[in-house]
Structure 1
Amino acid sequence: MRKPATALSCLFLIGPLVAFLVLVYVVPFLGVAEWSVTLPTPGVTQYEKLAADPLVFSVFVRTFRICLTVTVATVIAAYAIAYVWVRGTPLQRRIAELCILIPFWISVLTRAFGWLALLSSRGLINTWLIDLGVLGEPLTLVRNELGVVIGMTHYLVPFAVFPLASAMRSLDERIFLAARGMGASRLRIFWSIFVPMTFSGIIGAALIVFVFALGFFVTPAILGGGRSIMVAELIYLRMFQSPDWGLGAAISVTLVVIVGGLLALLFRYARLGNSGLVQ
């Protein structure tokens, strides 16, 4: 018989991973936090400046607005894909799997430039619409928030599919059979039973997408064209263009605290959901 793992052996196995995470994440973050209260002079001046600066406030508002829009669009698209992946025909499931997995093989930079080629004034979409006579002049689809939302949504959809698919696979099919036996239509079953029972997956996917969207840099920089600056790009500008390392560090710490709060909310919700399943 195998001997049960002791606390020392568990510590020996987990210790290197914990040490690596502390070295890679915690130590740099503490250094940035130190910059935020020491540069250019010791104190909380940078946080006061952050709270009073209308530019920083407008960037945060824009970031949250874009992230909320992306979250809603991503969850809706991911829900449709996850539904086909879980409950579709074998052919539909294979197609859904390709839609989910192929984007992981393409870098975020390649995707951003691909959307730029599609959505720009001389891109494929505007060129086709003008050639067909649908448009007289090209639409402005990039270098604004619309292009940023499209690019970010495309990138984040696969990440939202997995928690939604997990919630859908955990449903008891007997509930739907009973509803059909009571005379409920397919649409009524979907809106009144299926969607409410997958609400935990919707919340989990929304939180994951929102947290990921807060830190986006490449996609907004390329598709926004400097006109839709988000928090991550503002940090870069403050660190390397201004330069104002103290304010950039304060913005970074504030963003990390917000993300940490959202992750704590996600873990708490997941724990409550698991306890409810156990009961």
Structure 2
Amino acid sequence: MRDILKPALLVGPLLLFLAAAYVVPFLGVLSWSFTLPEPGLHNYANALTDELILSVFLRTFRICLFVTVFAVIAAYAIALVWVRGTPAQRLAAEVCILIPFWISVLTRAFGWVALLSNRGLINTWLTQLGVISEPLTLVRNEFGVILGMTHFLVPFAVFPIASAMRSLDERVLLAARGMGASRARTFWQVFLPMTAPGVLGAAIIVFVFSLGFFITPAILGGGRSVMAAELIYLRIFQSPNWGLGAAISVLMMVVVGLLLGLLMRYARPKSMLS
């Protein structure tokens, strides 16, 4: 009995905190979606049939897909240097990974605005060098949103990929090289497939995180690339239509849950955590 009580006493406060912080608020949002402004399923019907809401959903998934691909590719390159580079390269990679965690998402977003706006550093330099005659539109569109979100999420994708790389058996790579495989063939046919669980884990993390982004799309999108989180904010605080905003929130939670269930099933969680 004591063996059961001790873990329960240790884990119990954490479970109570998580229930108070996440489960109770979600149940409140769930009840709003069915009761406001009047009981029924009309909020879900509107969310699934309104062309504006559907276009926001499609834009959200499109942006998240691009962000996931670019972030995972960049994270794989950084993790490769971090795990298999020289000591100096590893130190530089660690600095690149850790420093972004010390900078707030708001500061990063405005930093990208300073770089990408019509009078920003990039357009100013390109104009002065004679490369372009008119400023490029790099913000207030999906390009700026994807760039800013990718920059924020790359460090989160590095860790599962680096973990997969560190768990590799070096003898397998040496065997491939000993049998005459080139470095490129060893990478594409041995190293990359063996780190695939880490890549898939990173993709899951990035995609799920990006679905809930609000500040970066709001600043870099300038209201022209509205994503689901910003739409929920607009429906609750500016329309206001709390019931519809709650229904959109619940639908996003369902989508995230389904994606996590499917991806974790095929990603083999044990191999991702090893």
* Same fold by TM-score greater than 0.5: yes
2:157 is the alignment partner of 1:160? yes
Post-superposition offset of 1:86: 0.3
From 182, 186, 189, give the equivalent of 1:185: 182
2:32 is the alignment partner of 1:21? no
**Which residue identity is paired with 2:239?**
S
Q: Percent identity?
A: 71
Q: What residue in structure 2 maps to residue 86 of structure 1?
A: 83
Q: What residue in structure 2 maps to residue 149 of structure 1?
A: 146
Contact 2:197 2:271 in 1 (8 A): no
2:220 is the alignment partner of 1:223? yes
Runs of 4+ in 1 over 4 A off after TM superposition: 275-278
Q: What residue in structure 2 maps to residue 169 of structure 1?
A: 166
**Which residue identity is paired with 2:7?**
C
2:83 is the alignment partner of 1:124? no
Q: What residue in structure 1 maps to residue 203 of structure 2?
A: 206
Q: What residue in structure 2 maps to residue 246 of structure 1?
A: 243
How many matched pairs? 274
1:277/1:215 Cα in 2 relative to 1: closer, same or farther (>3 Å)?
closer
**Which residue identity is paired with 1:177?**
L
From 259, 262, 266, give the equivalent of 1:265: 262
1:276/1:243 Cα in 2 relative to 1: closer, same or farther (>3 Å)?
closer
Post-superposition offset of 1:118: 0.2
Take 1:6 and 1:79, find their aligned partners in 2: how far apart are those partners? 43
2:31 is the alignment partner of 1:30? no
Larger deviation: 181-190 or 226-235? 181-190
From 90, 99, 104, give the equivalent of 2:101: 104
Take 2:73 and 2:198, find their aligned partners in 1: how far apart are those partners? 12
- TM-score w.r.t. structure 1 length? 0.95
Q: CA RMSD in A?
A: 1.6
Post-superposition offset of 1:262: 2.6
Contact 2:198 2:272 in 1 (8 A): no
**Which residue identity is paired with 1:49?**
N
Contact 2:164 2:197 in 1 (8 A): yes
- TM-score w.r.t. structure 2 length? 0.97
Post-superposition offset of 1:273: 4.8
Structure 2 residue matching 1:6: 3-state secondary structure: helix
Post-superposition offset of 1:277: 9.9
Take 2:106 and 2:226, find their aligned partners in 1: how far apart are those partners? 17
Post-superposition offset of 1:179: 1.1
Take 1:202 and 1:20, find their aligned partners in 2: how far apart are those partners? 32
Post-superposition offset of 1:230: 0.0
**Which residue identity is paired with 2:124?**
T
**Which residue identity is paired with 2:188?**
W
Take 1:213 and 1:202, find their aligned partners in 2: how far apart are those partners? 16
Larger deviation: 255-264 or 47-56? 255-264
